[in-house]
A = this chain, B = another copy of it.
């Protein structure tokens, strides 16, 4: 038997993206967004309500970064999703994060968040809240790479948010290889 929950925005797993931008005065800002994902080979789409300071910022500079929230940075990542850059100008100072200007776009990433997509704004529609960004570069700190130079997901420890109960979860164990189905090989 299935239970019907109505029209709800529930998917699993859902990412926790930290969007980095510069305020007009050059101070860094960040917010937390769970509604979004890859939308093309070099493109990410995220729903960002126009009331956010972040929206004003990426429209002005034409750029933003997207870092993965992690277990180690969970409290601060949660905080930047609650406090607003509109009334808390020292938001990043409170996290203790160190902002670094991206080499590729006019937006900051944060040293404490080891994996970042550096993006240029392709379009932003305030009605639908849809921000579409061109992924110009992905940068990953060497501390979370494995011996083959690829991402080690256990070192990165990205988190996912479960919005029915408002809980964060880590990534678990490897359960299989992708694009190698036994049903095809059989």
List residues of chain A with CB under 8 Å of any chain B CB.
Answer: 1-15, 17, 34-45, 47, 66, 68, 71, 74-76, 78-79, 81-83, 94-95, 103, 115-117, 128-130, 134-142, 145, 149-151, 153, 156, 158-184
Contacts and interface: CB of A to CB of B under 8 A. Distances in A.
A37 B15 contact: yes
Contacts of A40: 9, 35, 47, 128-129
A4 B35 contact: no
A97 to B, nearest CB: 11
B76 A183 contact: yes
Contacts of A41: 7, 9
> Would you list the 7 A-B pairs with minimal beta carbon distance, nearest first?
A37-B37, A172-B172, A170-B172, A79-B181, A79-B183, A12-B158, A78-B181
Contacts of A117: 10-11
